[in-house]
Chain A
Amino acid sequence: MQSQNNPRRFSVARKSFSLALVVAAFAVGGAAQAKTLVYCSEGSPEGFNPALYTAGTTFDASSNNIYNRLVEFERGSTRITPALARSWTVSDDGLEYTFKLRRGVKFHTTKNFTPGRSFNADDVIYSFNRQLNKNHPYHNVSGGSYEYFNGMGMPDLISRIVRVDSYTVRFVLSKPEAPFIANLGMDFASILSAEYAAAMLKAGTPERVDLDPVGTGPFQLVAYQKDAVIRYKAHPGYWAGRAPIDNLVFAITPDSSVRYQKLKAGECHVMPYPNPADLQAMDSDSEINLLRQEGLNVGYLAFNTMKKPFDDKRVRQALNMAVNKGAIIDVVFQGAGKPAKNPIPPTIWSYNEAIQDYPYDPQRARQLLREAGAANLKTNIWAMPVQRPYNPNARRMAELIQADWAKVGVEAEIVSFEWGEYLKRSKEGEHQTVLLGWTGDNGDPDNFLYVLLGCDAATGANRARWCYKPFDDLLREAKQTSDIAVRTRLYEQAQVIFKEQAPWVTIAHSVWFQPVRREVVDFRIDPFGGHLFYGVDLR
């Protein structure tokens, strides 16, 4: 239920918030008492329970600001840090993760709910069991589709969750899975209040838990008007200390050029997803700080290795050498990208710097194709119909690759489908070569290498349908140990094999741009693409 239709919440919020906003609005102009930060978000959230959704817009409005997780990623990095769990231990066999929980963590007090206790193990168990256990009373509430939880393989991975005591909880796994800790930092692992859930269930309105959120995070929801505005206020009892700003407002502004105008006019402080064409003007605007950071993503072209002649690595290597990545970076990314040589971005640990990318060498490519008997190859290039951070213009990219390949005698036809159809057909392996990409979920190399190139994914997210045992064995071994040094070594070796086998043309890692007004202090770009406002201040 949108809060627009919840008069009780509005009337209360009105008294406490309206005045604050009137005063705070001057913050944009300079003189301020209460500090209100306005974020021109790109769309409406689907709801306020991040476990139910997969969109970044929803995570910004919920998990990134309203909730906490047992572990979190340090602001602006992919490093795991304790959050609602103050420490954890892993059993020697890698099957048991025991978390010591933080004490005295307060949930938000809202119009619908006043917490009677602080956060404890029951909240952890409720938040996970709701997703895990099909017989849980909340499992089917609000549609009950937990696609991130399922997509990360959690139902098969978690055997059970044990409440050791009020402040200790143990996850028992069915197999060792080193990236498990990183998974717990993801949005779907946000901790909701079990007490609130029980109260709403008793009241016969369990769906309110997902619409009127109660979390432990730095901001609490005050009001939401669909497609217009989301209002938050700082959680006064936040366990890590109250946020420097008093109020946070999401002014929903779908058009990126309008967001830019609003930023220029001082109607918002932070905007996401600028138009590449506006970047130069933003950079030269003294009122705007254009922050930038390499994104946690990779854009690639995958060869369907189940189809001839792409089952021959010489063909794949040749077509790698035939692509002029520099031109793609200039034309498609307009400079806002970096050529990729590995399947993981350089911001992730275990990135193998020593690897040499295939040089742009049409002559050698032609020779290799001749050797492989594919001199007059006819193929296709699937181009995504949508814009993504890892590929801002797939059609243009496909045209450039088509022209490059034509120079080595390869005739490629560009094919495109509607997005859902594109994903479905490419998953089913209808393509010969396909443009796609990936943005990391949890900063773990496994989230790229195993998800996109592992044998288990060869009929799914692994669009190259490439299953190469020496490579897969390394990834499986890396899952068995929590020792980062050992895992790093294994992943580095895996990248060497990947490069030699060339199931993809690794094209680019895009650069994230984040325009903020100059009065915004300490906003950090989230490598996962989220927008987090805890710790951000206004001058």
Chain B
Amino acid sequence: MLRFFLTRVGLLAPTFLGVTVVAFIFVRLIPGDPVEVMVGEMGISPERHAELLARLGLDLPLWEQYLRYLGGLFQGDLGVSIVTKQPVLHEFFTLLPATLELSFCAITAAILLGLPLGILAATRQGSAFDHTVMASSLAGYSMPIFWWGPLLIILFSGVLGWTPVSGRISLLYFFEPVTGFMLIDSLLSGEPGAFTSALGHLILPTIVLGTIPMAVIARQTRSAMLEVLGEDYVRTARAKGLPASRVIGLHALRNALIPVVTVIGLQVGVLMAGAVLTETIFSWPGIGKWMVDSIFRRDYPSVQGGLLLIAAIVMLVNLIVDLLYGLINPRIRHRN
């Protein structure tokens, strides 16, 4: 298992280096530069333009810019935002808890609903329930966030008035962020009603962000379960007279989980991508919205720093998934 772990960790270093190159080049491939975007229609003289680019270090050859960036990176310095003049690392970690909180709730909801729905659909293959789950998950998977979000807001906030429209907590509450996780901070604040308010504000964004992962998990669970349920050892377990719950819960599910866990790991990337739109729609102050703003403003340090940190998070989660995969399936770790 240790060797398996070390192999996986060893793969991270070159991947990470690759990401630094991609992030660095990607942001510079976008046409326009930060100075042009900043001055807009007002225009700027070529001399002043060159002066500002030089001040930002953007007049240097690309390789030199990259080496400086890499040098800073090794010292834990991701640079300073061109727009806000704040350290990128500071901005990222100020906003990250909001995204983590939302993503965690979304993936938890997706797993809690997707897994049982997939299992039940598999065990009732061909039934009306199965068809309903499959049709709903297909619809959920196809639902664009920019449409699904406003639709839920109009229905639940506008028409029914059951949920708040957007934000993380009611403007009534104003307390010092301790962890940055609103659910925890609202509890720590001791202000009556704050936790309920934070929870209420999470409902719609969680549904919107969790819909696609839930659909994927439900469909993957169903197909994996169907495959496993047709295996000889499951037939044998049934022939032995084991109760259905034991056959499904112990023998079938454990093996069916292997691809499902992989898919859950991959959903982290999907969540990060979905967070961009979800955060914009729900005025959720997270890194998705921050990244979009940074791209529009050609804030090179923020975009490349943000991409790098998001990639690091996705890689870390996938490492954990790989390790879990090894734990669930001994053949994997032995093969490695």
A-B contacts besides A255-B166, A461-B41, 13 pairs, CB < 8 Å: A10-B175, A18-B175, A21-B172, A25-B171, A144-B55, A147-B42, A226-B91, A227-B289, A261-B153, A265-B165, A418-B32, A420-B31, A420-B32
| Bound CA–CA A207/B80 (angstroms) | 13
| Bound CA–CA A101/B18 (angstroms) | 60
CB distance from A442 to the nearest CB of B (A): 13
- B157 near A226: Cβ-Cβ < 8 Å: no
> With A254-B289, A261-B154 known to touch, is A143 a contact of B85 (CB < 8 Å)?
yes
Chain A residues near B165: list those with CB within 8 A: 258, 261-262, 265, 267
Those 10 A-B pairs whose CB atoms lie nearest each other, nearest first: A420-B32, A227-B285, A420-B36, A418-B31, A421-B31, A228-B285, A10-B176, A461-B43, A253-B283, A460-B43
Chain B residues near A22: list those with CB within 8 A: 172
Of the residues A145, A151, A436, A457, contact of B52 by C-beta under 8 Å: A145
| Bound CA–CA A21/B169 (angstroms) | 13
Of the residues B33, B38, B95, B164, contact of A227 by C-beta under 8 Å: B95
- B33 near A420: Cβ-Cβ < 8 Å: yes
- B42 near A54: Cβ-Cβ < 8 Å: yes
- B153 near A225: Cβ-Cβ < 8 Å: no
Chain B residues near A142: list those with CB within 8 A: 85
10 contacts between A and B (CB under 8 A): A21-B171, A44-B293, A47-B84, A142-B85, A226-B91, A227-B283, A261-B157, A261-B166, A267-B165, A437-B41
Which of chain A's residues has its CB closest to B52's CB? A145
CB distance from B90 to the nearest CB of A (A): 7
| Bound CA–CA A227/B40 (angstroms) | 22
- A252 near B285: Cβ-Cβ < 8 Å: yes
| Bound CA–CA A228/B280 (angstroms) | 11
| Bound CA–CA A11/B189 (angstroms) | 12
Chain B residues near A150: list those with CB within 8 A: 44, 48
Which of chain B's residues has its CB closest to A231's CB? B174
- B32 near A228: Cβ-Cβ < 8 Å: no
Query: Quick check: is B161 within 8 A (CB to CB) of the other chain?
Result: yes
- B283 near A228: Cβ-Cβ < 8 Å: yes
| Bound CA–CA A438/B283 (angstroms) | 29
> With A145-B55, A258-B283 known to touch, is A229 a contact of B171 (CB < 8 Å)?
yes
Chain A residues near B170: list those with CB within 8 A: 25
Chain B residues near A420: list those with CB within 8 A: 31-33, 36-37, 298
CB distance from A34 to the nearest CB of B (A): 12
> With A261-B157, A265-B158 known to touch, is A424 a contact of B36 (CB < 8 Å)?
yes
Number of interface residues of A (CB under 8 A): 64
CB distance from A266 to the nearest CB of B (A): 10
Query: Quick check: is B168 within 8 A (CB to CB) of the other chain?
Result: yes
- A14 near B174: Cβ-Cβ < 8 Å: yes
- A46 near B161: Cβ-Cβ < 8 Å: no
| Bound CA–CA A210/B84 (angstroms) | 10
- A253 near B166: Cβ-Cβ < 8 Å: yes
- A5 near B36: Cβ-Cβ < 8 Å: no
Taken residue by residue from 1 to 31, chain A's Cβ proximity to chain B (1 for < 8 Å, 0 otherwise) reads as: 1101101001101100110011001000000
CB distance from B55 to the nearest CB of A (A): 7
Number of interface residues of B (CB under 8 A): 57
Near B by CB (< 8 A), chain A positions 425-452 give 427, 436-438
> With A227-B285, A420-B31 known to touch, is A251 a contact of B167 (CB < 8 Å)?
yes
Chain A residues near B52: list those with CB within 8 A: 145
Of the residues B38, B173, B282, contact of A258 by C-beta under 8 Å: B282
Taken residue by residue from 387 to 421, chain A's Cβ proximity to chain B (1 for < 8 Å, 0 otherwise) reads as: 00000000000000000000000000000011111
Query: Quick check: is B30 within 8 A (CB to CB) of the other chain?
Result: yes
Query: Quick check: is B45 within 8 A (CB to CB) of the other chain?
Result: yes
Query: Quick check: is A38 within 8 A (CB to CB) of the other chain?
Result: yes
- B150 near A258: Cβ-Cβ < 8 Å: yes
Chain A residues near B95: list those with CB within 8 A: 226-227
- B283 near A460: Cβ-Cβ < 8 Å: no
Chain B residues near A417: list those with CB within 8 A: 31
Chain A residues near B91: list those with CB within 8 A: 226
> With A150-B48, A421-B31, A438-B41 known to touch, is A21 a contact of B174 (CB < 8 Å)?
yes
Which of chain A's residues has its CB closest to B33's CB? A420
Query: Quick check: is A175 within 8 A (CB to CB) of the other chain?
Result: no
Of the residues A143, A255, A461, contact of B281 by C-beta under 8 Å: A255
Chain A residues near B39: list those with CB within 8 A: 54, 147, 151
Near B by CB (< 8 A), chain A positions 57-94 give none
Near A by CB (< 8 A), chain B positions 5-61 give 30-33, 36-45, 48, 52, 55
Which of chain B's residues has its CB closest to A52's CB? B85
| Bound CA–CA A262/B158 (angstroms) | 8
Query: Quick check: is A315 within 8 A (CB to CB) of the other chain?
Result: no
Chain B residues near A21: list those with CB within 8 A: 171-172, 174
Interface centre among B31, B154, B283, B286 (most CB of A within 10 A): B283
Of the residues B40, B167, B171, B293, contact of A423 by C-beta under 8 Å: B40
Question: Which secondary structure dominates chain B's binding surface?
Answer: loop
Interface centre among B32, B175, B280 (most CB of A within 10 A): B32
| Bound CA–CA A254/B165 (angstroms) | 13
Of the residues B32, B86, B158, contact of A2 by C-beta under 8 Å: B86
- A151 near B280: Cβ-Cβ < 8 Å: no
Chain B residues near A254: list those with CB within 8 A: 280, 283, 289
| Bound CA–CA A13/B173 (angstroms) | 12
> With A14-B174, A147-B38 known to touch, is A228 a contact of B168 (CB < 8 Å)?
yes
Which of chain A's residues has its CB closest to B80's CB? A143
Chain A residues near B282: list those with CB within 8 A: 258
Query: Quick check: is B177 within 8 A (CB to CB) of the other chain?
Result: yes
Query: Quick check: is A264 within 8 A (CB to CB) of the other chain?
Result: yes
CB distance from A262 to the nearest CB of B (A): 5
Query: Quick check: is A166 within 8 A (CB to CB) of the other chain?
Result: no
Chain B residues near A46: list those with CB within 8 A: 83-84
> With A228-B285, A424-B36 known to touch, is A258 a contact of B86 (CB < 8 Å)?
no
- A2 near B94: Cβ-Cβ < 8 Å: yes
| Bound CA–CA A207/B176 (angstroms) | 23
Interface centre among B36, B42, B55 (most CB of A within 10 A): B42
- A1 near B171: Cβ-Cβ < 8 Å: no
CB distance from A75 to the nearest CB of B (A): 25
Query: Quick check: is A257 within 8 A (CB to CB) of the other chain?
Result: yes
- B45 near A460: Cβ-Cβ < 8 Å: yes
Query: Quick check: is B290 within 8 A (CB to CB) of the other chain?
Result: yes
Chain A residues near B38: list those with CB within 8 A: 54, 145, 147
| Bound CA–CA A462/B117 (angstroms) | 63
CB distance from A28 to the nearest CB of B (A): 9
Near B by CB (< 8 A), chain A positions 234-256 give 249, 251-255
| Bound CA–CA A497/B83 (angstroms) | 41
Chain B residues near A54: list those with CB within 8 A: 38-40, 42
Chain B residues near A301: list those with CB within 8 A: none
Chain A residues near B286: list those with CB within 8 A: 227
Chain B residues near A267: list those with CB within 8 A: 164-165, 171
> With A228-B285, A418-B31, A420-B31 known to touch, is A43 a contact of B174 (CB < 8 Å)?
no
Chain A residues near B177: list those with CB within 8 A: 4, 10, 225
Query: Quick check: is A223 within 8 A (CB to CB) of the other chain?
Result: yes
Chain B residues near A423: list those with CB within 8 A: 32, 36, 40-41, 43
Of the residues A151, A228, A231, contact of B43 by C-beta under 8 Å: A151
Chain B residues near A261: list those with CB within 8 A: 153-154, 157-158, 165-166
Near B by CB (< 8 A), chain A positions 30-60 give 38, 43-44, 46-47, 54
> With A54-B39, A461-B41 known to touch, is A13 a contact of B32 (CB < 8 Å)?
no
